[in-house]
Amino acid sequence: MFKERRKMPRRQINRLAQFRSEAGAASGECMVTDISEGGARLFTELDLPEAFTLWLGAEDTKMQRECRVVWRLGGEIGVEFVKAH
């Protein structure tokens, strides 16, 4: 068995989200399969950069988070939310 290494519990949501790199070079859609206060698991067939902004939610209630990739496994990507200083 694998040891649980997450600092915070995640909840499954399976929602479509958008991502964009800081330089604006990469953008597209991904599926957020689970999320916590500190990070998320994403699925996409596109090439996500190591750091990007993730938008999730309806136009009037969008949540925006700066993300950093911490692991990749095929089309699944684990990200942590980067706190602004």
Burial class (CB in 10 A: 0-12, 13-18, 19+), 74: exposed
Task: Name all domains of the chain by residue range, CATH numbers in brackets.
Answer: 11-81 (2.40.10.220)
pLDDT tens readout for residues 37-78 = 999 999 999 988 999 999 987 666 678 999 999 999 999 999
Residues 46 and 30: beta-carbon distance below 8 Å: yes
In whole angstroms, give the CA distance from residue 30 to residue 27: 10
Query: Which pTM was predicted?
Result: 0.80
